[in-house]
Structure 1
């Protein structure tokens, strides 16, 4: 279109700075051999022209795009956006950018999702609950480094990091029993989810070791709405539980609102509610949720170290990290 401004190129910068195009390339390459005076001249010319290096063209030489595919499921709950923001900030601090790919835990990755990974990503990070085991096998076949967050998988070349879910569930069981609770219910997430399998089984086992059976159980899908719905069902009977452990914070928020608003229960006097994850909303005064802290900042830092290690040495031994969670005591539980 007439009058449309053309994007500046390395040739334009070289002409304005009075240097060769290869000199411009060296100025924008980390560790490139160039004098301070030349670098200053080139950067000033680039500033005047609003020039930015073409990352795709540069990747043809370096064979690195600094793009990291990030496969995530639904982003409408509080945890996944919190995780993605933390991961994005961490990647940016290391000169990398995320390429978000929408996954579905019920299916293999579809054509459009796999097509997004055609952008020559340097590695793929798969978050828990975003894809099926079959989809993970398909990602392994891409031939790029694969890292799993929130799922522990023992496979050559696939590094994993996952909160110690069984420890977190045991901490909740021990604290509730020590607080005098005897009718303890559990509201779990999707049975197919790795986190649910670990948290649910560990919670039941810990209560059994303490001499208590589960008073009631519910099945949600890690959403606020399912927590609200299941809490209404679990808490409406004559033998109402005196404590409810929810498999994540989103369901706990729904349970809190159901107990207080719909049923008129006092929390924690009539009912203690505990979540899992410790998303930022959990600390809001309106929730003041007692929960298990899934240490996202620490996990992302370790994950990025694992990523750098795998990129530097594709044949390095496979690693699995299980960071320990902690119980965060707030106002929603009598502990």
Structure 2
């Protein structure tokens, strides 16, 4: 069995410098294909693997990216993370995913990740204190994804604007005769959910209308189903706006299967997120959709910007669009 060798020994065998060995194991480095292949062949012959920890000490870069999310069970977050993880791996950046749901001491969770000297952090979760995140990851230049106002100017911000899309949905629903709107929230502490509700409240106000009822779910299918049964039985509602698509699917099933209502004739249902499942033929949900590819491309661009030591924080505003289905 071959004995493992060090990078210096590999450099001697290959007749190159230690710096050339380092470049051979970096996809974006300038090195000829012939030299790279020769070095990799010798490395394989002697069972050599580069030491990432040693390289990070030398370069003062860990190439780690902390991703702070609510839950990977949420289809919207899962779809976004899937694409983001692939993009990061293409750039030889390694994600550390921190799930906040079900974890009480979220500041401790972030401190655990910061101990690994992460180069970047993207905070998707609205369960954490952004002030804490910015302080804990102060050397990593956080990127915050939220509609919540930030007091700290040392972080870049990605936020969404769905006011125009909400107005488009409400205009069409009102034109179809809908006038009794309800809102099904996912979590009352969520800044994003509060903003989403406000977009629709403002749009309704332009027609002299307001929400006549409200339900409280947890972003899951079961809560959408159960809340809809209660909400639609006790209130005169002909349109339900939901905090996300999964609850909206639950509302539709409850309305049609339990209460015998026709969608959208008796009740219109609107979701938010634009997840792939919402466009399935069996759901065909009208939803406020985010262009996930554009969103993640901006996140990656901000990470690359920080890698280039561009220290000025940036705010990115992404506009949601209506993805029409048969429910409205």
Q: Same fold (TM over 0.5)?
A: yes
1:208 is matched with which residue?
Answer: 205
- Unaligned segments of structure 2, at least 5 residues: none
**Distance in 2 of aligned mates of 1:328 and 1:35:** 48
Aligned-pair CA distance for 1:322: 1.4
**Distance in 2 of aligned mates of 1:259 and 1:73:** 29
**Cα pair distance change 1:169/1:14, threshold 3 Å:** same
2:229 is matched with which residue?
Answer: 232
Q: Which residue of 219, 239, 243 corresponds with 1:222? A: 219
Q: Which residue of 275, 279, 287 corresponds with 1:279? A: 275
- Unaligned segments of structure 1, at least 5 residues: none
State which drifts further: 73-82 or 36-45. Answer: 36-45
1:332 aligned onto 2:327: yes
1:63 aligned onto 2:56: no
Aligned-pair CA distance for 1:94: 2.6
1:120-169 alpha-carbon deviations (Å, 9 max, x no partner): 110110004241345335435x3221001233544222101122133343
Q: What are the within-5 Å matches in structure 2 for residues 130-169 of structure 1?
A: 130-140=127-137, 142-154=138-150, 155-169=152-166
2:317 is matched with which residue?
Answer: 322
Q: Is the 8 A contact 1:139 1:146 kept in 2?
A: no
1:84 aligned onto 2:81: yes
Q: Is the 8 A contact 2:3 2:47 kept in 1?
A: no
1:193 is matched with which residue?
Answer: 190
**C-alpha RMSD of matched pairs (Å):** 2.6
TM-score w.r.t. length of structure 1: 0.87
Aligned-pair CA distance for 1:280: 0.8
Q: Is the 8 A contact 2:72 2:99 kept in 1?
A: no
1:251-304 alpha-carbon deviations (Å, 9 max, x no partner): 112212211222222222322111001111111112111101122211110111
1:259 is matched with which residue?
Answer: 255
**Cα pair distance change 1:31/1:258, threshold 3 Å:** closer
**Distance in 2 of aligned mates of 1:168 and 1:320:** 21
State which drifts further: 95-104 or 241-250. Answer: 95-104
1:301 aligned onto 2:297: yes
The alignment covers a number of residue pairs equal to: 327
